[in-house]
A = this chain, B = another copy of it.
């Protein structure tokens, strides 16, 4: 069986470009015992991947030059030499940017009951973005009723879920987004109290003073360094900064980053700045998924999907993330015909 894979051709400098990637065709050998052959249906274009393309050891190993780019996908099982999976099963996992592949059973997870949610939700509200938002707001941010919460990249998959979950906990939630359309979606569909297109602001700090006259209890940040620095003087006593993503910093070498300088507020307000990864909470994924599904079914939690079709669109879809070109969860769907993998 033939499959196509997207490999890292060179380490991107600054913003990633489609030409940093290459497309290769490979023939899968016969399926080894204990393994499972899957065909991907959807891939996530995930900003967090950018850090892995730079060659720096992070919480996961960097992608090697010539190696298949990593990333989460939804797939169906084509053939199984494992007792845990059968042909036709829907699975998720870090399957990488490949149309089909063979995996040890431990690398795959059976998709949870969706309860009517669209299949893409397996990479969105029911996947890492939704679960990250759930634990980021509940455990790291400890958002409670009456808190004031600022979410950056608020129309992104994680930000939109985080803001809504904060609202469901009784917080007053404001989102920053990169277009009027996104800001409008946040206040109408997603129920944010306010949302602002930050590109239209003369001065973000002035706007934050107006949006939060009494200060901010929780910053849920997906942008990085520069954003944390601007927000710090607006934080309230014992405020929490949930460091969820650093989309802007991923493409910048540390010495080119703005740097967090307003650190006196960390002492004067006794702030807590804490990093978040969903998989620290893996034993409680079931709880998160059940809540998220219930909220969705009750119409209290929505998601915006941005779906592009065709495996070969993956590099372009990924690069668009950093130009503010995506809205909600960016997914790439396999062609309906299934392409060469069938």
Contacts and interface: CB of A to CB of B under 8 A. Distances in A.
B266 A275 contact: yes
A267 B59 contact: yes
A266 B276 CA distance: 8
Interface string A228-252: 1100000000000001111001100
A263 interface: yes
A265 B51 CA distance: 11
Given A254-B261, A263-B243, A276 B272 contact: no
A259 interface: yes
A26 interface: no
A137 to B, nearest CB: 16
A258 B250 CA distance: 20
Contact of A273 (B250, B261, B272): B272
A215 to B, nearest CB: 12
A291 to B, nearest CB: 22
A275 B267 CA distance: 4
A270 interface: yes
A246 B268 CA distance: 11
Interface of A: 51, 56, 58-59, 224-225, 228-229, 243-246, 249-250, 254-255, 257-277, 280
27 contacts: A51-B264, A56-B264, A58-B268, A59-B267, A59-B268, A59-B269, A225-B259, A225-B261, A225-B263, A228-B263, A243-B263, A243-B267, A245-B267, A254-B262, A259-B259, A259-B260, A260-B260, A260-B261, A260-B263, A266-B273, A266-B275, A267-B277, A270-B276, A271-B275, A272-B274, A273-B273, A273-B274
